[in-house]
Structure 1
């Protein structure tokens, strides 16, 4: 056995810096849209933090950001699945308004218990989604036409059932869905201790899952991130989670709606990454004919995607009505455009087959921070709409540039 040379010894002791650069470069290229949007979100937050003289990141404003954008983020979760399959849904705002109106009639006019009215409202959303999904999946009418018809239909029905008037107020238990906070069982005084403990708990769960996933990848000889990059990523996200928890804790604590959003994000991320139906949704968006030849029941999957969108539209309508404490004829106006913009800004492709739930959430936060920041610096709604339009155009142009570059 020959002795190890000095060069071989050094290569064993120190990782090849070029390999680190190559792996880092590959990570950035394969996640370009996601990383670019995260960086954009950070830069936008820093810009408005400076322009608003520190108001943007105050605990009160952070909480308001969550409450103001919760219903759009719920819609974005469902919309990204629709866009991945290669479709679009223009009716979500009208469905949200219609379901909110029905919920108000049930709870305010007929004094129905909150839980029962919520269940009926979500079932109504599923029925509406099934109605639209049938025409799209089985009759093969383009989703643009079906949902445009749905937008007009359910906006008209909203005006009919409300008779052009608002219905208010909702019961206190219903309002807490959107404006309530979890109680601090530890009685921390000025600091919400339960929120801090939840942040620490989530950090531990996150670190454990990441280490376990890395261990499994190494076990099956998959390529993993260099140890240094992996540690930096873990530490960075743990710091962000706990700073965010602290900011919420020094105001009112964890909003109820944030718990609902967190559960939805976890469920839908798991479904899209780890389940058969998630892979089928991506397959349909990538190439529907090829997916059908491979045994994917494309009609049923498309149908279920629109049923799901109907349910989430109903949930969004309930959240908005609870926040407004009223059902109004103009509720849900332009919700569909904000949800679609969030998905495209967050990395979904206009051609289908590409997109993630976390990406849609990031896109929604970009839109929310821009809206909030522009309002704080005194920009009018006219300039806000113009700037949002340019941002959406830039996001889609970036998607097309990347697609052409890879051809």
Structure 2
């Protein structure tokens, strides 16, 4: 067995030609997903005015999008475990790009809600395929770093949405924000065409979709633990990101200030998303040295320490520092997740299992944004954000302290 493990490790160190294309397609797809998602965050007031509804009706569409993601994870994850990673990944990208465009040209609020629900299916489908495709093709010694780079694509998409609001919307209008992503979608399709199919999938492929789902239900113990992880991690991420631009708009003392020559509403998110990208890559890399769980817990402590400045900062400088450190920790913890979930997943369902557990966690946590918004009405933004996130971070520290880890496991070793 030891000889087989050494042989497998040696084979994995001999990188599959073209693995860089697979990693790039997984990373860019998550960037595009995040861009299309966070555009809505910056357009709460614009969309509410356009559709003649209250702002909370637009905020509610975020919960709808998040709630539909497990459906996409089931559909596209099963397709990827049955037919390979490449074709389902391309299908998913094309699908959610078309739905995004339709969202931007919705004739009424009802149609917009339907498009955001359909978009959630595509968003949910992409992560499981993209993460398994990237992690299975990546050299094992680079898995943690590339995990961080992939998950860092999410805050990078957020950053691009903020930049787009400053550079594209003033000249082309808000409708254009739903169109520009189609260019990146075309690039992702080309990169996927140039990528090799996953050797790990070829080795562990299942003969039918029925067998795939049966395998999923045979691992309910690990599934339940990882579901708990992703529920609370989703509360961490969306609880610190989705309402923060709206929180910034509620602070009159910073309204006349400039951040990087921009209004704080745009300048601060750009800065804290730079921190998020840095944190995802750094803690992903660190997880190769100190372990997945320990790296995540260190990142969570950074976020916990940032809360006073993040939620109660009275000046632009304090808010910049607090939000930068907050997202460094939040996305630092998330940067380890692609590698950690894939390493804890069964070989034969590595697209469906981590993708579904990730997105089901998002579903269960989907009311988080609406709960925070409701708490804001009673307690004010600073206290609502603080109470919610302190509870979330403390829970995560206990969950990871007691959880399993399989850092560096082989994806190509035969079972048994």
Choose between structure 1 and 2: higher helix proportion. 2
Name which one, 1 or 2, has greater alpha-carbon Rg: 1
TM-score (norm 1): 0.29
